[in-house]
Amino acid sequence: MKNLFRKLLGDRGERAAVKYLKKQGFRIIAKQYHNSYGEVDIIAEDGKTSVFVEVKTRTSTKDGHPFEAVDLRKQEKITRIALAWLKQHGRLEQPARFDVVSILWPDELGEPQIQHFRNAFEATGRGQFFS
């Protein structure tokens, strides 16, 4: 039951993030995109920049702020997913970045508190990002 609640909250958070990003002028390319390396919540375009967005949603800060869950291991995973996507779509020569949307949604009926961290982390992992 706890996992179902977490999944539903995450899905609501992703929908709120998409709405927020669209208002900021982003063009959404994919939601819940997955490949053999894993899943990234949102792929968007901000002008000519491909943006890989990880969304973290929580109901409280009891276990830390939502953005704190995007640790080094998660960053490495998102980097691998992004590199594969960029290669597949012929975008290795275009700018790309990693954003985090952190959502605190303490009251189901209230409005979420959204923080958007642009360029939240650099490409991480072994080897070169642009190979």
Q: With 60 as the cut, is the pLDDT of residue 129 above it?
A: no
Residue 128 lies in a domain: no
What number is the average pLDDT over the span 79-99?
95
User: pLDDT tier at 131 (50, 70, 90 boundaries)?
Assistant: very low
User: pTM score, two decimals?
Assistant: 0.90
User: Is 70 a member of any domain?
Assistant: yes
What integer pLDDT is reported at residue 8 of this predicted model? 83
Number of other residues whose CB lies within 10 A of the CB of residue 61: 11
pLDDT of residue 130: 44
Token pair 């704190």 in the structure block, residue: 68
Sheet of strand 27-35: strand arrangement: 27-35, 38-46, 49-58, 96-104, 113-121
Residue 121 near residue 79, CB atoms below 8 Å: no
Residue (of 87, 57, 70) closest to 124 by Cα position: 70
| Domain membership flag for residue 127 | no
What is the tally of structural domains in the chain?
1
**Any domain includes 52:** yes
Q: Is residue 55 part of a domain?
A: yes
Q: Could you tell me if residue 126 is inside a domain?
A: no
What residues are paired with 116 via a beta bridge? 101
Q: What is the tens place of the pLDDT at every residue in 15-46?
A: 999 999 999 999 999 999 999 999 999 999 99
Report the CATH number at residue 27: 3.40.1350.10
Range of the domain at 67: 2-121
In a domain, 129, yes or no: no
Asked whether residue 116 is domain-assigned, the answer is yes
